[in-house]
């Protein structure tokens, strides 16, 4: 996939948003490609021990959820800056749960692994996000993705899987679990002084598909001190999402 094919018209598609877009100009683009959403139900008390108290856990029918989300990115860069080879495209893998602050549901990341040392340094310096450098590959062949991640900095963690879609793509209707797990328009974290912030994002509604996955290695959650239940994850696939992001705002 080309690294300069960002669809800027996504900023005009706003009817689906749960709250208005920020008044400030957005500052960054990212395109997320060939995503696997692998989710496990988690006891909220286990999540609470690892999420800052400034954020309320966002539960679905009283249950917390943890997601392991491998994908690869293109079009990564500041607004108005052309895509740069070796910098604007790389694989990434996120471990996340769901929180609320100020009435706005969002994502909280336990870890983010990336194959770009530059992106890791920038995110750690500017946002205090728990990014780690990793050796990563994402080989895509039609509806088959072979993904490997071996963390190179921080707590040891690995992920290996072959995954792909097994059904038609569609928008998740408001309310069901699929909507709860995907339709998020901000992330939350704390700065180096422990002060909470919100970082807004925007994208079109997710088009997700039922997915299959053969996961042969996965220590991503345990590296953050969270034990996954002994059961198969809930799986979804998404082909692509063009996204813009704003500068963080302290709460």
| CB 189, CB 146: distance < 8 Å | no
CA distance readout (Å), 131 to 21, 53, 96, 112, 247: 26, 21, 12, 5, 17
Average pLDDT rounded to a whole number, residues 126-150:
97
Q: DSSP 3-state assignment of 89?
A: coil
45-69: average pLDDT: 97
d(CA 177, CA 45): 20
Which pLDDT value is given to residue 175?
A: 61
pLDDT band at 75 (very low <50, low <70, confident <90, very high): very high
Q: What is the CATH number of domain 26-250?
A: 2.40.400.10
- Residues 110, 226: Cα–Cα separation, whole Å: 9
Map out the domains of the chain as residue ranges: 26-250
Q: Say if residue 1's pLDDT is above 60.
A: no
Dist. CA 31–CA 110, nearest whole Å: 21
**Greater confidence, 4 or 244?**
244
Task: Evaluate if residue 139 carries a pLDDT over 60.
Answer: yes
Output b/e per residue, 145-164; b: 16+ Cβ within 10 A. bebbbebbebeebbbbbbbb
Query: Each residue of 23-48: pLDDT tens digit?
Result: 999 999 999 999 999 999 999 999 99
pTM here?
0.95
H or E stretch at 123? helix 117-127
Q: Over the chain, what is the mean pLDDT?
A: 95
| pLDDT for 52 beyond 60 | yes
Band (173; pLDDT cuts 50, 70, 90): low
Enumerate residues 6+ apart whose C-beta is below 8 A from 9: none
The H-assigned helical ranges of the chain are: 44-48, 117-127, 177-182
Evaluate if residue 241 carries a pLDDT over 80: yes
Instruction: Give yes or no for residue 174 having a pLDDT over 90.
Output: no
Report the largest interatomic distance among the alpha carbons of the chain, rounded to a whole angstrom.
Answer: 46
Reported confidence tier of residue 208, pLDDT bands at 50, 70, 90? very high
Check pLDDT > 90 for residue 3.
no
What is the Cα–Cα distance from 202 to 29, expressed in whole angstroms? 10
Write down the pLDDT at residue 2.
41
Q: What is the pLDDT of residue 172?
A: 73
pLDDT in tens, 97-123: 999 999 999 999 999 999 999 999 999
- Please check whether residue 138 is in contact with residue 91, taking contact to mean a CB–CB distance below 8 angstroms: yes
Q: State the pLDDT at residue 127.
A: 96
Q: What is the rounded distance in angstroms from the CA atom of residue 79 to the CA atom of residue 60? A: 35
Task: State yes or no: pLDDT of 80 exceeds 90.
Answer: no
């Amino acid at each position: 996939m080309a690294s300069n094919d960002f669809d800027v018209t996504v900023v005009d598609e706003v009817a689906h948003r749960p709250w208005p877009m920020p008044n400030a100009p957005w500052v960054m683009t990212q395109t997320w490609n060939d995503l696997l959403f692998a989710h496990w139900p988690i006891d909220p008390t286990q999540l609470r021990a690892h999420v800052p108290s400034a954020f309320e856990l966002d539960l679905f029918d009283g249950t917390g959820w943890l997601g392991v989300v491998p994908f690869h990115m293109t079009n990564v860069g500041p607004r108005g800056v052309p895509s740069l080879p070796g910098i604007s495209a790389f694989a990434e893998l996120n471990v996340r749960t769901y929180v609320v602050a100020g009435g706005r549901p969002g994502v909280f990341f336990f870890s983010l692994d990336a194959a770009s040392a530059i992106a890791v340094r920038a995110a750690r310096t500017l946002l205090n996000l728990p990014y780690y450098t990793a050796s990563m590959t994402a080989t895509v062949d039609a509806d088959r993705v072979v993904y490997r991640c071996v963390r190179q900095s921080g707590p040891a963690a690995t992920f290996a899987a072959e995954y792909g879609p097994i059904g038609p793509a569609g928008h998740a209707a408001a309310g069901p679990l699929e909507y709860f797990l995907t339709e998020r328009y901000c992330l939350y974290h704390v700065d180096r002084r422990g002060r909470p912030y919100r970082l807004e994002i925007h994208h079109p509604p997710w088009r997700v598909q039922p997915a299959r996955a053969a996961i042969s290695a996965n220590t991503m959650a345990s590296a953050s001190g969270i034990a996954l239940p002994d059961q198969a994850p809930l799986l979804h696939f998404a082909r692509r999402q063009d996204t813009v992001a704003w500068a963080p705002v302290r709460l």
